[in-house]
Amino acid sequence: MCGIWALFGSDECLSVQCLSAMKIAHRGPDAFRFENVNSFTNCCFGFHRLAVVDQLYGMQPIRVKKFPYLWLCYNGEIYNFKQLQKQFGFDYQTLVDGEVILHLYNRGGIEQTASMLDGVFAFILLDTANRKVFLARDTYGVRPLFRVLTDDGFLGVCSEAKGLINLKHSTSLCSKVEPFLPGHYEVLDLKPSGKVASVELVKFHSCKDEPLHVACDTVEALPSAGFDLETVKSNIRILFENAVRKRLMAHRRIGCLLSGGLDSSLVAAVLLKLMKENNINYPLQTFAIGMENSPDLLAARKVAAHIGSEHHEVILNTEEGIQAIEEVIFSLETYDITTIRASIGMYLVSKYIRKKTDSVVIFSGEGSDELTQGYIYFHKAPSPEEAAEESERLLKELYLFDVLRADRTTAAHGLELRVPFLDHRFTSYYLSLPAELRIPKNGIEKYLLRLSFEDSNLLPKEILWRPKEAFSDGIASVKKSWFSILQDYIDQQVDDLVLEKAAEKYPFNPPKTKESYYYRQIFEKHYPGRSSWLPHYWMPRWVQATDPSARTLKHYKSATQE
């Protein structure tokens, strides 16, 4: 996990512009480099490094003797770099996994490069010989990337939007700082002036498609095909374990977030098992946050005892959570209600990890709810086919919500996130299964995933079949949800008359509640006029919901009252 930043065709002094690069210093606390591009005095790269692999030669932009005309700045982890080296006979000059991008590009161009990378990534690749600039981002946008391109060809690229919004330019900088779309690459021509022109934006991978890099995976072919239940369960276990195994790649200590829900518990249990098999000889640290005796803390305690991790509990108090709201919104760059609620706990537990432990590479359970239909409202899906469509929509929008939350809250404290549920191979297989297999059954969401691990003894039965809790709800007591605590505080901060005129002040995505108005005010304070970064609020479907919390839905209420 690092922070990348680059400018092409800057009219202003680069020593002034590079102040913007310092806005993302939290993403790479170990080192910083600012480098001009030879022969293009108005082009430069900025890089903040978190050293996870090759601590000696891992600085960027990466340049190697074999390709002196290539410059690479990337943020991510490429899990199949050794397999690609073996398959194509690449001669690496560093131990950095991202070096494979240079070799793949030289061998087959940008399309093959982006398609063959098994991992999470956002990168800027400059080819001065052919005067091209390439941008690319992984399928689910696990690693963030933003860009701004003016009409006269000035390009700014950064891991977070905050590194671009204050750039200086001779013409007024258009406000179109926008997220770069996941699963895409862009080709731009580099002119002798250092300015650029966009040539094409190409979608190189869709979440349903089996990725091209399957041929270079550690599990080349599944032992059996077909959709009978035992085969499917076995394949799910094989591919999920493979997803966790490949993410063990690290020279820094590995830890795991553990809410006590199904997703983080499965990740933690499989992770600890594989760490032992790979002779990683330090104990796995797991981390839970919540108020005293909250459902998450109690469940996480059970899981940690069962798997034998070194467990840490962070007790959340109301005042601390409320005080963190503004810095959380600044980190997130969004005003989405449920994203902010869930981020507060994750931000504070990440802060604890950074200050109190030496764990840096942090595993988490993001992506499972979208992939395996884990949200409570999936019980109300009109048909298996519509549920499958909704699952795909949620996966495509992850970069706006859960993946954004998980990246920013951990990156704010210099941690690197790993999310095995969003493994390309695992997700494409799960989405290829018949829609009927994937829906909730017997009143239980994620039924197929739970069933697949039922006989594994990885988790206690009551955890494996624990009903869904939103992270922002599970950290509080059952009697009073975290969202209710927030609303009670905010109710005193926002006047009724102000809320009545909210649509006039904020015509795009107008706030409908005091809570959403309060978040929007803070967002606009830091990012005025950038409301389009959030195309719409996250809300459940097929139900008459006015709040995104699962605890407001009838299904949750009836389940907890039984």
CA 244/CA 423 separation, integer angstroms: 9
From 2, 43, 73, 207, active-site residue: 2
Give the CA distances from residue 446 to residues 367, 377, 378, 428, 548, in Å, rounded to whole numbers and listed in that order: 12, 12, 10, 17, 19
199 shares its domain with 233: no
Judge whether 274 lies within some domain: yes
Cβ neighbours of residue 393 closer than 8 Å, sequence gap 6 or more: none
Does residue 156 sit in the same domain as residue 275?
no
Residue where one domain finishes, among candidates 188, 203, 218: 203
Residue 322: burial class (beta carbons within 10 Å; 0-12, 13-18, 19+): middle
| 235 and 199 both lie in a single domain | no
Phi, psi of 339 (to 5 degrees): -65, -45
State both tokens at 539. Answer: 């809300």
In this structure, are 281 and 170 located in the same domain? no
Residues marked as binding? Answer: 97, 257, 289, 364-365
Binding site per annotation, positions for ATP: 257, 289, 364-365
C-alpha–C-alpha distance, residues 188 and 198, integer Å:
4
The pLDDT of residue 173: 55
The phi-psi region of residue 314 (left if phi > 0; otherwise alpha if psi is between -120 and 50; otherwise beta) is beta
Number of domains in the chain: 2
Tell me the C-alpha distance between 302 and 462, whole Å.
Answer: 10
| Residue 519 located in a structural domain | no
Specify the pLDDT at position 562: 37
Residue 522 and residue 486 in contact, taking contact as beta carbons nearer than 8 Å: no
Check residue 51 and give its pLDDT: 65
Residue 84 within a domain: yes
* Ordered mean pLDDT values, 10 residues apiece, the chain (562 residues): 89 85 85 83 85 62 94 95 96 93 98 97 97 98 96 94 90 77 98 96 94 84 85 96 95 94 97 96 96 90 97 94 97 97 96 97 97 96 98 98 97 96 97 97 96 95 82 59 87 94 96 96 97 96 75 49 40
Could you give the C-alpha distances from 150 to 169, 303, 519, in angstroms and in order? Answer: 9, 52, 30
The upper half-sphere exposure of residue 196, i.e. CA atoms within 13 Å in the direction of its Cβ, equals 33
Residue 102: exposure state from Cβ atoms within 10 A (0-12, 13-18, ≥19): buried
- Tell me, yes or no, whether 290 and 141 share the same domain: no
Q: What is d(CA 150, CA 169) in angstroms, rounded to the nearest whole number?
A: 9
Task: Give Cα 365 to chain centroid, integer Å.
Answer: 11
Domain boundary among 203, 221, 245: 203
For residues 194 and 245, state if they share a domain. Answer: no
Domain boundary among the residues 203, 219, 254 is at: 203
Q: Is residue 31 part of a domain?
A: yes
Contact predicate 160/144, CB 8 Å: yes
State the burial class of residue 371 (Cβ atoms within 10 Å of its Cβ: 0-12, 13-18, 19+): buried
Going by C-alpha positions, the residue among 348, 263, 273 that lies closest to residue 300 is 263
The CATH number for 380's domain is 3.40.50.620
The C-alpha atoms of residue 348 and residue 103 are separated, in whole angstroms, by 40
Q: Is residue 494 included in any domain, yes or no?
A: no
Strand order in the sheet with 62-64: 62-64, 67-78, 119-127, 132-137, 184-190, 196-203
* Whether residues 248 and 388 fall in one domain: yes
DSSP string, 226-271: S--HHHHHHHHHHHHHHHHHHTT--SSEEEEE--SSHHHHHHHHHH
Per-residue pLDDT at 55: 56
Contact 284, 296 (CB under 8 A): no
Say yes or no: 180 and 243 in one domain.
no
Which tokens hold the place of 521?
């005010």
Of 374, 383, 465, the residue nearest 421 (C-alpha):
374
Q: Element (H or E) spanning 290, and its range?
A: strand 285-290
One domain for residues 144 and 49: yes
Q: Which residue positions form the known binding site for L-glutamine?
A: 97
In the 8-state DSSP scheme, what is residue 212?
G
Residue 184 tokens, joined: 């895409």
Distance CA 123, CA 157 (A): 9
Q: Are residues 195 and 256 in the same domain?
A: no
The pLDDT of residue 312: 98
Residue 527 lies in a domain: no
pLDDT at residue 36, as a whole number: 87
CA max distance for the chain = 71
The CATH number given to whatever domain includes residue 147 is 3.60.20.10
Domain presence at residue 162 = yes
Q: Are 337 and 194 in the same domain?
A: no
Which residue in 327, 495, 347, 368 sits closest to 414, CA to CA? 347
Catalytic residue list contains 174: no
Query: Domain for residue 345, yes or no?
Result: yes
- Closest by Cα among 257, 331, 316, 335 to 512: 335
pTM for this entry: 0.94
Domain that holds residue 309: 229-487
- Regarding whether 252 and 357 lie in a shared domain, the answer is yes
